[in-house]
Amino acid sequence: MFESLKRALLPGLLMLGVSGCGDDSVVVWLHLQNVTPDVAALQVAITLDGKAAMQRYEFTQGLGEVAVKLKKSQLGSGSLKVSLTGVRADRCKVVSGEYAATVNADQPLVEAAAVLGTLIPVVCAEGEFRPNMVKVPKGSFTMGSPTAESGRGSDETQHAVTLTRDFWMAESEVTQKQYRNLMGRSPSYFKGDDLPVDAVSWFDAVAYCNALSVKEKLTPCYQISGTTVGWAEGVACNGYRLPTEAEWEYAARSPATTVYAGSDSVDGVAWYITNSGITTHAVKTKAGNGRGLYDLSGNVWEWVWDGYQSDYQTLPSTDPIGPSTSTARVGRGGSWNNTATYARVAQRNGLAPSYLYDSPGFRFVRSSP
C-alpha cells in the first residue's frame, strides 16, 4: 500500500510516501471516504502549527489513502491541518475535505478517516492560463557582460542594442497550473500548482503561446508544422510569443544594471543549486527585479525564440533576432540545479529544441499594439 503513494519533501514535512514510521517521526495515515469516480487527481495542502507548507501536492494514484510524515523535532504544539481537494480531468474541483487534529510525539502512528464532501456547484477556475503581464518600454542597452565579470563566457561580447517596440512580458515563469489548464497535461518532473512548469521543450513552449493566443482570440504568432516553426510577422505579430534573446536580456536587466536579475547578490533573487534544496520553487518567492519581473535568474531555464549564434554581436544592433533555424535554441537564466554563474543575466545556453528533462521552462511576451 505504501508503494502507491508519492514522495515530496517540505521543510519538516514528508508527505505522500512513507517507508516506515521510524523513531524520529509521527505518521498520520488518512483513509479517504467519498472519493467519487470522476476524481482524477487529489490535491493536498498541509498546515502545521499555523504555518502553511510552501507547496501544494497532487497525485493521481492511491486516491483513497494519504500519509503525512512529521518529524518529531518539528512538531511544536502539533496542531495539524490537512486540506484535500479532488479534481476532475478538466481540472474542475468536485470534492473537498479537511482533517484537523493535534498530534504528539508519544503516538507515532495515527489512523483516521477523512470524509470528502461533494461540491455543489462544481468549482471550475477561469483565467488561470497565464501569469500577469508587465509592460517593458522600448529602449537601448548594452547586451553581454564586461570582461571582468566572474564566470563570463566567450560568447557574451558586449554590444549596443536598441529595441524599437514596447512589449509586455509575463511577470513570472508559466506555472504548472497555468500550463495544465491550457494544454490539458502536466509534464513536469517536480509537482506543485505554483511551481514553474518544467520538462517542456522549445516546441512545447511555442505551442503554448499559440494556444494562449487562440484562447484569448488573438492571431497566433507561429506557423507550426511538426518540428518546423515559422514566425512570418516577427515582433509585429498580434499574439503571444517567446521573447527574443535581446528582449529577454533587456527585460532582465532592470533599469539598474546588475549581474543577476535585480541584484548583484544571487541569493536574494534566484533559486540555484546552493539554496534550492535540489528542487524548483513556487514562482515569485524571491525578490523581483526593478521592472516587477520575477525568477529571471534561477528556478528553471527559460526558452527564447532565437537560434543560438555564438557571435551574436554581429546581428543588427536594432531589434536583433538570432537565426530562425538552428540545431540549438537559446535558454536563459539558469535553473535550480546550476551554479550562480548560470543565473547571471548575460549567461547564454544553447539547447536542442527537443530538450526536456527537469530544468527547462519558459515565460512569454506580447508586442505592445
Class of domain 2-123: mainly beta
Instruction: Please report, for the chain, the start and end positions of each structural domain, with discontinuous segments joined by +.
Output: 2-123, 133-367
CA distances from 243 to 132, 146, 253, 341 (A): 16, 23, 14, 22
* Position 11 confidence tier, pLDDT thresholds 50, 70, 90: very low
Closest by CA position to 112, among listed 32, 217, 216: 32
> Which pLDDT belongs to residue 40?
85
Rounded Cα distance, 345 and 89, in Å: 39
Q: Can you give the pTM of this predicted structure?
A: 0.68
Average pLDDT of the chain to the nearest whole number = 89
> Which pLDDT belongs to residue 158?
97
Rounded Cα distance, 15 and 19, in Å: 11
Residue, of 246 and 45, whose pLDDT is higher: 246
For residues 305, 311, 315, 317, the Cα torsion angle rounded to the nearest 10 degrees is: 100
Rounded Cα distance, 9 and 89, in Å: 25
For residue 18, how many C-alpha atoms fall within 13 Å in the half-sphere facing its CB? 23
Domain 133-367 adopts which CATH fold?
paralog of FGE (formylglycine-generating enzyme) (3.90.1580)
> Which pLDDT belongs to residue 127?
53
DSSP letter, residue 113: E
> Which pLDDT belongs to residue 2?
35
CB under 8 Å to 355, separation ≥6 — which residues? Answer: 201, 202
Grid coordinates representing 109 are: 502512528
* Position 90 confidence tier, pLDDT thresholds 50, 70, 90: low
Given a cut of 50, whether residue 10 has pLDDT beyond it is no
Q: CB neighbours (10 Å) of residue 154?
A: 7
Residue type, 275: N
> What is the average pLDDT across 294-308?
98
Residue, of 127 and 7, whose pLDDT is higher: 127
Residue type, 78: G
> Which pLDDT belongs to residue 7?
37
Q: CB neighbours (10 Å) of residue 11?
A: 11
> Which pLDDT belongs to residue 63?
87
Give the chain's end-to-end CA distance (angstroms, integer). 56
Residue, of 127 and 253, whose pLDDT is higher: 253
> Which pLDDT belongs to residue 13?
39
Residue, of 257 and 152, whose pLDDT is higher: 152
Contact 189, 171 (CB under 8 A): no
* Position 322 confidence tier, pLDDT thresholds 50, 70, 90: very high
Rounded Cα distance, 298 and 162, in Å: 26
| One fold for 2-123 and 133-367 | no
Rounded Cα distance, 369 and 367, in Å: 6
Angle between helices 202-215 and 176-183 (to 10 degrees): 70
Rounded Cα distance, 199 and 337, in Å: 14
For residues 57, 60, 63, 68, the Cα torsion angle rounded to the nearest 10 degrees is: -30
* Position 124 confidence tier, pLDDT thresholds 50, 70, 90: low
